[in-house]
A and B are shown apart, each in its own frame.
Chain A
C-alpha cells in the first residue's frame, strides 16, 4: 500500500528496522534510479546491477542517514557515483539496441522516431561520462542546476560548463534533426 509519509520519514523508519518503509522508497524511486543508471552506462544489465546496488547502499547506510538533503538527491548521488566508478573500470561504452518506440505512432513516424532515438542515444553515448551524467540528470531527470551539482558532488558553475560543452557536441552530432 502506498504510504503518505515523506521520503525522509520513510528512511528514518527504515533505519528503525521497518523493511516495509524501505520497500516504499524502492517503489517510489526505482524508475528514476534505473533510468539514470541506464542512460549513463547504456546497458540494461549493468544498469540493473548498479541501480540495485545503489538501493542496497542506501539500506546499509540507513542508520547513518540524516535528512539534511532531499532523499531523491541523496539517491541520485549514490547512483551517479556507482555509475561513474563502473565506467572508469570498464571498457568503452557499449550501448544496447534500440529502445521500444510508441506502437501507436504511424509506421512512417515510428521509423523516423526510431532513427532519431538511435541518433540521440549514440550522440549521448559519445559524450565524456561527466558531461553525459550532467545531461541525464538535468534534461532527462529534470533536476535543478543545484540538485544536479549536488548529485554530481560538484558546483553549479562546473555543471553549467559541463552542460554547455555537452550541448555544443550534441548540436553538431544531431544537427540533421534540427528544424531549419
Chain B
C-alpha cells in the first residue's frame, strides 16, 4: 500500500469503519512508515481541536418560525386544493350542461330535417297543409307561404296526431 492510499484511509481507520482486510493493510503500512504515523497523530489532533471549536447558539425561536411557515404553507395548500376541486366541479357542470344542450339541439335538428323530407314526399300532405295549420290554430303560418323547417315540423306533428 502506498502512502497516499494509506493516508486517505486513516480517517476510516480511526473510526474503525474499514473491513478487516483494509484495516490489516493500513496497520501494516503504519508499522513501517513514520510519515503516515505522523499523519495519523495529526489526524487525531485535528479531530480534537475541531471538536473543541464552538458554534454560536441556535437563534431563539428558530423552530417556532419554521413550524409557523409550515403551517401557513399547509393552509395555503389546503385552500388551493379546495379551489381546484371547486373549479373542476364547476367545469364538469358547465360541460355537462353544454353537452346536454348540444344533444337536444342535434335531436331537434335531426327531427326537423326528417320531418321536412317526409312532408315534401307526401302529395296528400301538401293539400292538407292549410287545413292542418288552421285546425291547430296556426293559420297565420300558412299565410306566410314559406316552407320553413319549423312549419314543416309542426305540420308533420299535427298530421301524426290525427
Contact = CB atoms under 8 A, between A and B. Distances in A.
Interface of A: 17, 19, 22-23, 26-27, 30-31, 34-35, 38-39, 44, 48, 51-52, 55-56, 59-60, 96, 99-102, 113, 116-117, 120-121, 124, 135, 138-140, 144-146, 156-157, 160-161, 163-164, 167, 170-171, 174, 177-179
B66 A52 contact: yes
A19 B42 contact: no
Contact of A19 (B53, B54, B63, B71): B71
A52 B15 CA distance: 31
A167 B42 contact: yes
Contacts of A170: 46
B161 to A, nearest CB: 64
Contacts of B21: none
Contacts, number: 112
Given A34-B58, A113-B52, A167-B46, A27 B63 contact: yes
A35 B15 CA distance: 22
A19 B49 contact: no
Interface of B: 4, 7-12, 15, 17, 39, 42-43, 45-47, 49-59, 62-63, 65-67, 69-71, 73-74
Contact of A174 (B12, B49, B58): B49
A52 B72 CA distance: 14
B37 to A, nearest CB: 14
B99 to A, nearest CB: 34
A55 B58 CA distance: 15
Contacts of A101: 54
Contact of A44 (B9, B59, B71): B59
B73 A17 contact: no
A56 B65 CA distance: 11
Contacts of B55: 35, 38-39, 99, 140
A26 B63 contact: yes
B50 A120 contact: yes
- Mostly, the B contact residues are helix
28 contacts: A17-B74, A22-B67, A23-B67, A26-B63, A30-B66, A48-B59, A56-B70, A56-B73, A59-B70, A59-B74, A99-B53, A100-B54, A100-B56, A100-B57, A101-B54, A116-B52, A116-B53, A120-B50, A120-B53, A124-B50, A139-B46, A145-B11, A146-B17, A156-B12, A160-B11, A164-B7, A164-B11, A167-B46
B142 to A, nearest CB: 71
Contact of B53 (A96, A117, A160): A117
Contact of B62 (A30, A56, A144): A30
A161 B6 CA distance: 11
Nearest to B38: A171
A24 B71 CA distance: 14
A22 B70 contact: yes
Given A139-B47, A164-B8, A48 B70 contact: no
A48 B7 contact: no
Contacts of A163: 8, 11
A120 B49 contact: yes
**Residue with the greatest number of chain A CB neighbours at <10 A, chosen from B4, B39, B49:** B49
